[in-house]
Amino acid sequence: MCLESDAGRLLPPLRTARAGSQPRLCMLQFVRKSRHSESRYEGRHAIRFPLLRAVALAFALGVESAVADECSAASVSLATLSPTGLVEVLIAAIFVLSVVTAYALREASRLRRRLRDSETRLQDLGTHDALTGLPNRALFVEFAGKVAANAKRHGSLFSLVSMDLDNLQPTRDAHGSMVGDRLLEAIACRIGDTVRKGDLLARVGEDQFIILLDSVRGRSGLVPVISRLMTTISAPYIIDGKELTIGCSAGVSLFPQDSDRLNELMQQVDRARRAARLAGGNRSMFYDELPKETI
């Protein structure tokens, strides 16, 4: 791509210098003598900035034409230009400046968008799990605190369900980390499709998820929900042509029956989950079912 071809396509032909005139200030000579540096420049920027280069050449042609028509070969000075020549130079300069300004504004807008996107990504990294995109523990605790405060004001119920995936590490060892990651993503999708829109699912450990079930109807309403979750997670997965199955151990605590404090409620649901795993796994256990000596 050359300068002259760009200008010819974008702008009408400009006047050339009079025959025999050899002004000392000739911008076209400078451009043509810079072909070696220009070819190096083209490799990186010619495709990106063809319009700016064409406009710059047009400005050079306009200045040279005005100077050649209005000035003697012995001296070249803008002070000697006629009013018509000055107008031509000023119009060319204003056009170049307007194009450069428009480009600068566009680049500034693009940089602002990239900065906002980067800030959003950084914020997401602090509140969401990188693999599954689910909220992490910090965001879950923040959301659960608001739900607990609202439940106290209105006398409503909610439940926490903490789940461990049984035998996830042996699956990773047998099939590799990439298969293990894809299995985690598939499990997260299944759980997310099972819970309601107003509930919150978070990943809080390598093989651990926690769910806040809002506005439940007591223990009797939780039993079928927990059973459905366990069945959904335990169904076979097809990952890279391999059929994989995995179990789940779940602990359940209920607000305010088990506790009306969020910290205590989270401790209770973790105890119930560990008890379910120690009992053989692939089962659920309510906190109020634990033997008194284990509480």
Query: For the chain, what is the mean pLDDT?
Result: 77
Q: How many domains does the chain have?
A: 2
* Maximum CA extent, the chain: 110
Strands 247-255 and 284-286: parallel
Same domain, 172 and 198: yes
Lowest mean pLDDT among 35-39, 52-56, 117-121, 196-200: 35-39
How many C-beta atoms lie closer than 10 Å to residue 8's C-beta?
Answer: 13
pLDDT classification of 11: cutoffs 50, 70, 90 = very low
Residue 130 lies in a domain: no
d(C-alpha 234, C-alpha 167), whole Å: 12
pLDDT at residue 38 in the model:
41
d(C-alpha 216, C-alpha 239), whole Å: 34
Same domain, 109 and 198: no
Which one of 75, 96, 122 terminates a domain? 122
Which one of 122, 157, 177 terminates a domain? 122
Q: Which domain holds residue 256?
A: 137-294
The answer to whether residues 145 and 262 touch, using CB atoms and an 8 Å cutoff, is yes
pLDDT classification of 45: cutoffs 50, 70, 90 = very low
Q: Alpha helices of 71-210 — where are they, by DSSP H?
A: 83-127, 137-154, 168-175, 177-194
84-109 per-position pLDDT tens digit: 777 777 888 888 888 888 888 888 88
Same domain, 110 and 142: no
Same domain, 286 and 145: yes
Residue 127 lies in a domain: no
> Which residues fall within 8 angstroms of residue 51, CB to CB, at 6 or more apart?
6, 10, 99
> Averaged over 25-31, what is the pLDDT?
39
pLDDT classification of 113: cutoffs 50, 70, 90 = confident
Which one of 89, 122, 155 terminates a domain? 122
Residue 223 lies in a domain: yes
pLDDT at residue 31 in the model:
38
Same domain, 96 and 26: yes
Residue 286's beta-bridge partner residues?
252
pLDDT classification of 134: cutoffs 50, 70, 90 = very high
Same domain, 44 and 148: no
Q: Looking at residue 183, which CATH number applies to its domain?
A: 3.30.70.270
Residues recorded for the chain: 295
The candidate with the shortest Cα–Cα distance to 161, out of 140, 142, 134, is: 140
The candidate with the shortest Cα–Cα distance to 60, out of 33, 34, 25, 35, is: 25
Of all residues in the chain, the percent with pLDDT exceeding 70 is 68
